[in-house]
Amino acid sequence: MTGLLDTLPPELESRVRDAAPGIELAASPMLATLSDRREFAKGWIFERKLDGIRVLAVRENGRTTIRSRSGRRIDATYPEIVEALDAQDTADFTVDGEIVAYAHGRTDFSRLQQRMGLTRPRDVAASDVAVRYYVFDVLRVDGKDVRRLPLRTRKSLLRRSLTFTDPLRFSAHRNEGGAELLADACARGWEGLIAKRADSTYQPRRSGDWLKLKCAHGQEFVVGGFTEPTGSREGIGALLLGYYEDGRLRYAGKVGTGFDRRTLRALREQLDDLQQPRSPFTDRVVERTAHWARPQLVAQIAFSEWTRDGMLRHPRFQGLRADKDPTDVVREHT
């Protein structure tokens, strides 16, 4: 074994295999499980939970591409990220991370959304939304699949594989954490923490080896319709939200706050194109002015809690997510 992997101890060398094409590895990212756990023994590391979009980057055969979690190619939207990866000395890698935008010193999904829909070079160049790509894991390097190496080893390998200058950032971690570290993260206005087993392998599924520790409730929901606006409001009154359970779209309530006027108008245009005559929800929805839509849009929603009857309390719209497949949206349980 040569190159970046030649310093592996003998007991880990057997875990490294010849890699499948980078795009294949990037198709199934490892996902974290929501948890209310707050006490952790040694053997866990803690990373900042970022308020952005999950992105896997692949460089091989002289080309670089970046993909959303759903597999959609987003090179045109974030050309500065592609250029920074193209400039790396390491010519063959697949890495995992999160693209974010900042507002008032914090990662801000609403600000990132102003950039997410842009694909024309002149529109991207004119945007004042600067982005950063925080990279936290490596799946493939120099033609070798390293997913079976321990996380701590992969992070060390990642740090040596790329040069981290803007807009690329290495996602740092703490070796100890729990309730106090989470409280500090929340006081700083962070989304929360991701707790990871330091010896865990990279698994192409949702795993309890990675845990989401959130400062506040929030997740994505599928948009299944909307209500008419009242008074001077334009566009829509509220979005009708749901999540999938056993292949059925369950109703979770409606959200009518968190919109500006431009967003209300843009949502109405999108939903008018998706209208259908029947409700997509398996539950009965009692809304006098409801319009139904094909469940193709995914919205990020913050809320205070779930009610006993399974509805969202005090929901607030944060933006649409183009990086999530609607059929993957389920209710997150702790």
Secondary structure of residue 302 in the 3-state scheme: strand
pTM of the model: 0.80
Whether 27 maps to a domain, the answer reads: yes
Same domain flag for 130 and 231: no
Whether 14 maps to a domain, the answer reads: no
Whether 23 maps to a domain, the answer reads: yes
Q: Which two tokens stand for residue 193?
A: 């923490």
pLDDT digits (tens, 9 = 90+) for 78-114: 999 999 999 999 999 999 999 999 998 889 988 998 9
pLDDT digits (tens, 9 = 90+) for 159-177: 999 999 999 999 999 998 8
Whether 141 maps to a domain, the answer reads: yes
Is the preceding peptide bond at 167 cis, omega within 30 degrees of 0?
yes
Range of the domain at 310: 217-328
Give me the DSSP letters along 199-257.
T----SSEEEEEEEEESSEEEEEEEEEEE---TT--S-S-EEEEEEETTEEEEEEEE--
Which residues have a Cβ under 8 Å from the Cβ of 117 and sit 6 or more positions away? 77, 322
Same domain flag for 239 and 187: no
How many Cα atoms are found within 13 Å in the side-chain-facing hemisphere of 202?
A: 26
Residue 51 clears pLDDT 80, i.e. is over it: yes
Whether 68 maps to a domain, the answer reads: yes
Same domain flag for 48 and 168: yes
Whichever domain contains 165, its CATH number is 3.30.470.30
Q: Which residue has the higher pLDDT, 10 or 240?
A: 240
What pLDDT, on a 0 to 100 scale, did the predictor assign at position 216? 80
Same domain flag for 317 and 175: no
Residue 73 per-residue DSSP state: B
What pLDDT, on a 0 to 100 scale, did the predictor assign at position 199? 97
Q: Which two tokens stand for residue 182?
A: 């989470």
155 a catalytic residue? no
Residue that terminates a domain, selected from 197, 214, 231: 214
Same domain flag for 316 and 195: no
Express as a percent the part of the chain with pLDDT over 90. Answer: 74
Q: Which two tokens stand for residue 115?
A: 């950039």
Q: Which residue has the higher pLDDT, 308 or 269?
A: 269
What is the sign of the dihedral through the CA atoms of 286, 289, 294 and 295? negative
Q: Which two tokens stand for residue 61?
A: 């055969």
Same domain flag for 200 and 223: no
Plot region of 192 (φ>0 → left; ψ -120 to 50 → alpha; else → beta): left
Q: With bands split at pLDDT 50, 70 and 90, how would you rate the model's confidence at 1? A: very low
- Residue pointed to by tokens 């080309």: 63
Same domain flag for 137 and 148: yes
| Euclidean distance between the first and the last CA atom of the chain, given in angstroms as a whole number | 42
Whichever domain contains 319, its CATH number is 2.40.50.140
Same domain flag for 42 and 127: yes
Phi, psi of 20 (to 5 degrees): -70, 170
Q: Using CA atoms, how far apart are residues 45 and 80, in angstroms rounded to an integer?
A: 30
What pLDDT, on a 0 to 100 scale, did the predictor assign at position 121? 95
Q: Which residues pair with 170 in a beta bridge?
A: 135
Same domain flag for 150 and 227: no
Average pLDDT, the chain: 93
Whether 228 maps to a domain, the answer reads: yes
What pLDDT, on a 0 to 100 scale, did the predictor assign at position 3? 78
Q: Which residues pair with 65 in a beta bridge?
A: 58
Whether 333 maps to a domain, the answer reads: no
Q: Using CA atoms, how far apart are residues 324 and 214, in angstroms rounded to an integer?
A: 19
What pLDDT, on a 0 to 100 scale, did the predictor assign at position 334? 65
What pLDDT, on a 0 to 100 scale, did the predictor assign at position 221? 98
How many CB atoms sit inside 10 A of residue 65's CB? Answer: 17
User: Which of 216, 164, 162 minimizes the C-alpha distance to 185?
Assistant: 216
Whether 1 maps to a domain, the answer reads: no
Q: Structurally, how many domains does the chain consist of?
A: 2
Q: Using CA atoms, how far apart are residues 129 and 124, in angstroms rounded to an integer?
A: 9
Give me the DSSP letters along 78-125.
-HHHHHHHHT-S--SEEEEEEEEEEETTEE-HHHHHHHHT--SHHHHH
Same domain flag for 203 and 246: no
Residue that terminates a domain, selected from 166, 198, 214: 214
Q: Which of 49, 155, 212, 324 is catalytic?
A: 49
pLDDT digits (tens, 9 = 90+) for 104-154: 888 998 899 899 989 999 999 999 999 999 999 999 999 999 999 999 999
| C-beta separation of 221 from 241 below 8 A | yes
- Residue pointed to by tokens 């009518």: 256
Same domain flag for 41 and 172: yes
pLDDT digits (tens, 9 = 90+) for 199-249: 999 999 999 999 999 888 889 999 999 999 998 899 999 999 999 999 999
Residue that terminates a domain, selected from 199, 214, 229: 214
Same domain flag for 282 and 149: no
Q: How distant, in Å, are the alpha carbons of 82, 91, 127, 140, 318 from that of 115?
A: 15, 28, 7, 29, 14
